[in-house]
């Protein structure tokens, strides 16, 4: 978020564009992406943890 806000402000200063960053939208996007990342990280790990390691490593 710091890099995104800093980059937007830098481009705004260079190009003389008005930059408006709504913090509620930034925080909402951060929370949403965090939840998606946690779901797609934890759910497959949870499913894999319930499998038998011998069956998973067996090569047929």
Tens of pLDDT, residues 5-60: 999 999 999 999 999 989 999 899 999 999 999 999 999 999 989 988 888 788 66
Residue 18, token pair as written in the block? 């008005």
Residue 27, token pair as written in the block? 């925080």
pTM, two decimal places: 0.62
Look at residue 60 in the predicted model and tell me its pLDDT: 61
Look at residue 1 in the predicted model and tell me its pLDDT: 86
- Of the CA atoms within 13 Å of residue 11, those in its CB half-sphere come to 7
- Of the CA atoms within 13 Å of residue 5, those in its CB half-sphere come to 10
């Amino acid at each position: 978020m710091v890099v995104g806000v800093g980059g937007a402000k830098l481009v705004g200063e260079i190009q003389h564009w008005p930059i408006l960053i709504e913090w509620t939208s930034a925080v909402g996007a951060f929370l949403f992406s965090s939840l998606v990342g946690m779901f797609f990280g934890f759910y497959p790990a949870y499913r894999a943890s319930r499998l038998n390691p011998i069956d998973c490593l067996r090569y047929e």
